[in-house]
Amino acid sequence: MKNNSRLFTNELLFLMVLLLISFSTVAQQKNQPPNIIYILADDLGYGDLGCYGQTKIKTPNIDQLAVRGKKFTSFYAGSTVCAPSRAALITGLHTGHVSVRGNGEFPLPKEEKILPEYLKEKGYVNGMMGKWGLGLPTTSGSPEQRGWDYFSGHVHHVEGHYQHPDSAWQIQGNQLNKIRIPGGQYANEWFTNEALNFIRNEKDRPFFLYLSFTLPHAELVVPDQFLRPYLNANGESLFAPETAHAPGQHYGPQAFPKAAYAAMITQMDSYVGKVVDEVSKLGLTDNTIIIFTSDNGTHQEGGRKRSDAMDYFKSSGPLKGIKRDLYEGGIRVPFIVQWPGVIEAGTSTDLPAANWDIVSTFCSLAGIQVPDTDGISLAPVWLNKARQSLLKKMQNRPFYWEFYEQGYKQAVRKGNWKAIRYYQGVNPVRTELYNLETDPGENKNLSSANQQLVKELEAEMEKLRKPASNPAFQIK
């Protein structure tokens, strides 16, 4: 009996210790700012996910984020191509103000403070895995100089064009070194494994993880395990007819571009699922914000045709245009945010927002003084605490983009009106006008009947743009 009594007492003490540890962990989580995981796809279209209407491509894990969180249906990338979009995200400045306004190897200057540098002031540990593209080694934009404690990925944007490279970059002892990717892994498989290690290592203090995939960017090369479900019993594409992308070009060969594009999205969805599962396994779910979005619209590269994007997969959904367009299909992207118990599950909003709002949002949630940027904190919208006056302000504020490839062009959205101005050399030649409330597909140009409104929106373009000091981003 004494032994049984002692055993019972020991078990009771053990349970009490477990409860105390549990209560202590919960208390710690409530007293510390939330963990942040920001997952960025590369060239994923607005309509490429099941939760945004896709029927041919399987994305069960990302769709579950929408079930458990809030979906934005009018969220905008910072630009219609990679580098300026990422620059807008990380600085909070749109392309009328940010230094990096187009693709190329242009480093972020030191005077443009970025998100991990703000979060570091609040005790966050910052990890980035994937494509950076905002500063090569030894420049002012090199990752180890910009608030990142961990980095495993590509610094040059062209490095991110290849899905199975043998090497990449990593911060080791406060230095950025070129390393061999271990075990012959595909790049995005390695990024994911590095991200999982980061979460495990930093689970006891607030962390910011920026997981910047190079999927589904061309080249259309994908592991067999993800391609196989999109092939029939004879090993042919389920989406026949297919036109093969021949060898000897910038992007590697691919016999089935349509099947490969779909497989790459499902591949990324699988990796998202691994991240979500790891957060859950470590008991971090309730204090972790997980976001999934894209850097710009879908592409037509590596063997993928515009008709594949627009007609077959409807990768832009009901929207017009793709990557490199300032139509909605080039800049409006999926955006899903999950924060269990804080953000109401299964909700959506059509309130317009942009990736340059993210710096303000995370600073406000982390208890950091919100910096003076082009963004506004989305926290009240996420938490369903936004007053009508704030919602009206957010609905009617102007959004601005400019782009230099294929001839200079600008776009502005204000309320439901959207104007796109095209240039020939240094001279504007035409401005198109659309009502996004009645015509989200931008099919009916209303400029002729609304000349005064066109002038007002052109004036907004001038107001929102500061001429760039970089010669690459001047109107020519």
Q: Residue for token digits 């104007």?
A: 419
Q: What is the pLDDT of residue 18?
A: 37
Q: Helix, strand, or coil here: 279?
A: helix
Helix axes 82-91, 358-366, angle to 10 degrees: 30
Nearest to 411 by CA among 388, 436, 386: 436
Compute the residue count for the chain. Answer: 476
The predicted pLDDT at position 30 comes to: 53
Q: Closest Cα partner for 268 from 40, 56, 77?
A: 40
In the block, residue with structure tokens 């242009």: 106
The C-alpha atoms of residue 237 and residue 229 are separated, in whole angstroms, by 9
Distance in angstroms (rounded) separating the CA atoms of residues 313 and 299 = 12
pLDDT at 43: 98
Give the tokens for residue 379: 């926290």
Q: pTM of this prediction?
A: 0.93
pLDDT at 32: 83
Neighbour count for residue 250 (Cβ, 10 Å): 11
Average pLDDT by consecutive 10-residue portion of the chain (476 residues)?
A: 44 40 39 93 98 98 98 98 98 98 95 97 97 97 97 96 97 96 97 98 98 98 98 98 96 97 98 98 98 98 97 98 98 98 97 98 95 96 94 96 95 98 96 98 98 98 96 90
* pLDDT at site 369: 92
Structural domains of the chain, with CATH: 33-395 (3.40.720.10), 407-473 (3.30.1120.10)
- Both tokens of 145, joined, read 């100089």
